[in-house]
A and B are shown apart, each in its own frame.
Chain A
């Protein structure tokens, strides 16, 4: 099957609004988590968030968005999308070519406007400017119209693994001949909705999340967006190629709506299948960007699945959620961009807030910055409903 290369990236997170700024933040071990400023919620000061330091108005000015009804989720997406198409040197003609697809993953949609949605859903007379912007597809339709995208256009929601699946779907569109070029990404803004949702499940950390630490007590929510331009071998000739998408797998844990099975059947088989799909052995993997949310359940289960697969030859691994929190539907795409940084600069960034290993599994994430040879990098994304996806990016 045709090879698929990453030829452009764009990203905005609480670490910064560009590829370079995110690299600096990761390299320096910066933490983008803090109290919430952009909207009011009871938990603004008692919990920590990976919030992007720009208000909606600032984002609209920066991006020159004049249309009404554009939610923060869409603004973040537009920012990362713009960077990705410039980075991949895509002309407007190429973007609106029938062979160009747009695939976006999203879980929050316009529900970041929690209070507005409440009014619109219960209002009988007239709707707000956001009336048609609450669903997950709103961002995709916004970008489709803005850039006149005429190939396959899709929105995927598999909860927290959404954008890993978007990258997978985009890659498969190229491999199966349904597109020559795919602009694929994930986006999610912080929302009163998700803050209260995760809080109701008692899985938000009271302080900074501590992935893979024995005393971890939950995750921090974050926001952000990342886009990747994927192209065929032919179309990417003579262009920079950040990495090749060599593996992708989607499995289901089929155990429980919100927790992973004790032995991590789903995570294990996602990692096992992705290796098979990429024709690689466990020992070929040099580094893993784990799902690593910092919840009691995820980290021990992911550890067990990793141990089962890699045995005593555990690759280096980190969780970048310790820097930016869990960005939900954007996480898979953001972490894919981080994997590309790892590969591009042949370096590993420190995982933060780790003190002592989980008693049962004894795995220790990388805690310092260093340069090293990285050929194949794996990224894990797991979500509610048992959705487990893994991707492999390889050095070209």
Chain B
């Protein structure tokens, strides 16, 4: 599909600007926030209007914008882009009884606030879009970039997945039963309860068709909406048959399991149909759960391929130790939005 070049990631872990995944940062409650976001590179005139999600995306992108002067477009996946401002504006409507209201929150409340701010600060007049389809928002951004590169093979794009924990979307997700009452990332997979821990982050990627200088290559992507395990297995097997050559094997399966016992079965099922000598790792104890957590998964996979270091805390099942050149990523969001990605060393 395409090659991944430079990347950045802001997450609850030590990932920005330097990366140290051996040192596991833990959370003591059901909200797993990113570390303080440094914003020194953003002009004050722009910074003053930024909500936190926008700031996450912009701060993560700035190093890439500096490295890559020529970008042909900005493609973002974000389920809750401007949620914080959206609810601030909503509160104004009610609190001031539809009186005289300040427009800034409204303007920043649209999901595309991140992509448009990135376009604005980089003066990028190219393709600019925001995919907001919950647990497949980032996957659709990936597919969009893949198509853009089929259409414009010489172009380079900025791809990103960004979501934040805003008080209000947290509240709504909590009331929906997506989040555990009390939990820590340290015992996420052993909780035997429903829900997960809320996470957030921004993972940004410079993408093009050039093999030279690339870290990894995304070979394939498949998404499906289903709650039927049999259908999921069929989709998975077809995905592997169509995309993994016979002489290649999967070195690592990166599972999106999130400690929610209601959806554990999907991950177990996929693990069970996989070759038994595949190592298995997970990552939601690093990122927390959110709609675009698969962007973190793609970032961390790319990082593992680049460094050939798999942090011990990520390992679920180790088989024979060998180089990690092919990673299969599987994620599901709330049991009905599933995605598979196949990533290879470039």
Contacts and interface: CB of A to CB of B under 8 A. Distances in A.
Contacts of A155: 131-134, 137
A359 B221 CA distance: 53
Given A114-B93, A122-B168, A122-B171, A252 B119 contact: yes
B111 A193 contact: no
In this complex, the interface size class of chain A, counting residues with CB under 8 Å from chain B, is 35 or more
B112 interface: yes
B226 interface: yes
Contacts of B224: 150
Given A137-B79, A157-B132, A257-B120, A131 B176 contact: yes
Interface string A233-259: 000000000000000001111111110
Contacts of A13: none
B90 A387 contact: no
A172 B151 contact: yes
Contacts of A387: 112, 116, 128-129
A107 B225 contact: no
Interface stretch (B9-17, B94-102, B204-212, B255-263): B94-102
Interface string B207-227: 000000000000000011110
A388 to B, nearest CB: 9
Interface string A251-274: 111111110000001100100000
Contacts of B196: none
Interface of B: 49, 74, 79-81, 86-87, 89-94, 97-103, 106-113, 115-117, 119-120, 122-134, 136-137, 140, 143-144, 146-147, 150-151, 168-169, 171-172, 175-176, 223-226, 336
B94 A118 contact: yes
A222 interface: no
A136 B97 CA distance: 25
A122 B167 CA distance: 9
Interface string A145-158: 10001101111111
A147 to B, nearest CB: 11
Given A176-B150, A176-B151, A255 B120 contact: yes
Given A121-B87, A135-B79, A252-B116, 17 more contacts: A42-B98, A132-B176, A135-B134, A136-B132, A152-B143, A153-B133, A157-B112, A196-B106, A197-B89, A198-B106, A200-B100, A251-B125, A257-B49, A257-B117, A384-B110, A385-B117, A386-B128
A41 interface: yes
Interface in A133-181: 134-137, 140-141, 144-145, 149-150, 152-159, 165, 169, 172-173, 175-176, 178
Nearest to B144: A169
Nearest to B109: A197
A269 B293 CA distance: 34
A153 B225 contact: yes
Contacts of B336: 141, 145
Given A122-B171, A150-B224, A196 B98 contact: yes
10 contacts: A42-B99, A132-B176, A154-B131, A155-B132, A176-B146, A196-B93, A250-B127, A252-B126, A254-B123, A385-B120
A43 B91 CA distance: 18
A220 B185 CA distance: 49
A137 B107 contact: no
A127 interface: yes
Contact of A137 (B74, B93, B100, B132): B132
A137 B134 contact: yes
Contacts of A126: 175
A348 to B, nearest CB: 31
A111 interface: yes
Contact of A159 (B93, B112, B168, B169): B112
A158 B136 contact: no
Contact of A127 (B109, B116, B175): B175
Which of A122, A123, A158 has the most B CB atoms < 10 Å from its CB? A158
Contacts of B86: 111
A252 B101 contact: no
